[in-house]
Amino acid sequence: MPNIDQAGMFSLAGRSVNRLGYGAMQLAGPGVFGPPKDREAALAVLREAVASGVNHIDTSDFYGPHVTNQIIREALHPCRDDLVIVTKSGALRGADGWWNKAFSRAELVQAVHDNLRNLGLDVIDVVNLRSMLDVHGPAEGSLEEPLTVLAELQQQGLVRQIGLSNVTAKQVADGRKICEIACVQNLYNLAHRDDEALVAELAGAGTAYVPFFPLGGFTPLQSTALSDVATALGATPMQVALAWLLQRSPNILLIPGTSSVGHLRENLAAAQLVLPAEAVATLDRIGTAGGTHAAA
Ligand SMILES: NC(=O)c1ccc[n+]([C@@H]2O[C@H](COP(=O)([O-])OP(=O)(O)OC[C@H]3O[C@@H](n4cnc5c(N)ncnc54)[C@H](OP(=O)(O)O)[C@@H]3O)[C@@H](O)[C@H]2O)c1
């Protein structure tokens, strides 16, 4: 089993978590809809992740829907005290699987109760408000109303901390006027660097930045430069992509997703991969700040 301690720790929701965590979205069926093809394999991935030292798991009740949380409950309940589970609210799946905005008070209250029930918890460590102003990426607009509802649920003791996902720097700043923001979860990886300034700002504030699609998401990263660096280091491209994120900023927490124990082991082993400066320089050239992403 890989030793993930070398990835280091960072504070999340008042707890210290390993910087190499796990994202559970891939445990649902195709298109993150319905049950997985192999439920036993999904359970095995979660159990091995936690046995390997992962103590930060990202999920949502809208994965499946309900499926991913129910698998987490079956695999891990009762959860270890040191495990931080982060979930999301703000979306509901249509019958066709589409991701619809669910920002009303009733929908947000329901989402928190659905997460509590399906995860088998009395209180959720972190609930991210996933902005759905534009499903595809951050878009300016007020999140005051839905964030205020989550802050009320926090005051009622159902939620420990609140985070934001798919948001702009302005929405983070505005959100801090309503409640403490424990973490920000946006799209960021070797090839997608729109958030360079936000990562730095959050690092200065001691706030966790949790990139989603750290491996490129549904279409894993492909780049000749990435493959060349991996070959030279005797590592895999996915390990190099994760190691690049780890060295990028100490407040970056990783939640790579996989439905396979083999890929999980490979990804966790990235904790031990140290990138030489020249490799970092090569990898830095794959993506550029400002949103463009060259396929080097
Ligand atoms: N806030 C948001 O809007 C949002 C959006 C998307 C995701 N998320 C969260 O972020 C987490 C990570 O994102 P993600 O899972 O979508 O994408 P990801 O981690 O970038 O990549 C997952 C994909 O890479 C494959 N993969 C994983 N390890 C691999 C390896 N070692 N070699 C080759 N292929 C590998 C997986 O397939 P296999 O299953 O075959 O390994 C899967 O297709 C999710 O699980 C979810 O918790 C949040």
Ligand 1 center to residue 216 CA distance, Å? 7
pLDDT at res. 291: 40
Ligand 1 atom closest to the CA of 59, numbered from 1? 47
Ligand 1 atom closest to the CA of 259, numbered from 1? 39
Measured by CA distance, the residue closest to atom 30 of ligand 1 is 263
Ligand 1 pocket, 226 CB below 6 A? no
Ligand 1 center to residue 183 CA distance, Å? 19
Contact 129, 150 (CB under 8 A): yes
Ligand 1 center to residue 91 CA distance, Å? 19
CA 14/CA 224 separation, integer angstroms: 40
Q: How many C-beta atoms lie closer than 10 Å to residue 229's C-beta?
A: 24
Ligand 1 pocket, 166 CB below 6 A? yes
Ligand 1 center to residue 168 CA distance, Å? 22
Q: Bridge-partner residues for 189, per DSSP?
A: 192
pTM: 0.96
Measured by CA distance, the residue closest to atom 47 of ligand 1 is 23
- Ligand 1, residues 84, 215, 264: which to mutate, most atoms within 8 A of Cβ? 215
Ligand 1 atom closest to the CA of 216, numbered from 1? 20
* Side-chain half-sphere CA neighbours of 171 within 13 A: 25
Ligand 1 center to residue 211 CA distance, Å? 11
Largest CA distance in the chain: 54
pLDDT at res. 287: 86
* One pLDDT digit (tens) per residue for the chain, 296 residues: 778 999 999 999 999 999 999 999 999 999 999 999 999 999 999 999 999 999 999 999 999 999 999 999 999 999 999 999 999 999 999 999 999 999 999 999 999 999 999 999 999 999 999 999 999 999 999 999 999 999 999 999 999 999 999 999 999 999 999 999 999 999 999 999 999 999 999 999 999 999 999 999 999 999 999 999 999 999 999 999 999 999 999 999 999 999 999 999 999 999 999 999 999 999 999 986 444 343 32
Catalytic residues: 63
pLDDT at res. 296: 29
pLDDT at res. 189: 98
Tokens linked to 290:
């400002």
- Ligand 1, residues 22, 131, 213, 245: which to mutate, most atoms within 8 A of Cβ? 213
CA 163/CA 237 separation, integer angstroms: 30
CA 133/CA 139 separation, integer angstroms: 6
pLDDT at res. 288: 62
**3-class secondary structure, 234:** coil
Q: What DSSP state is assigned to residue 293?
A: B
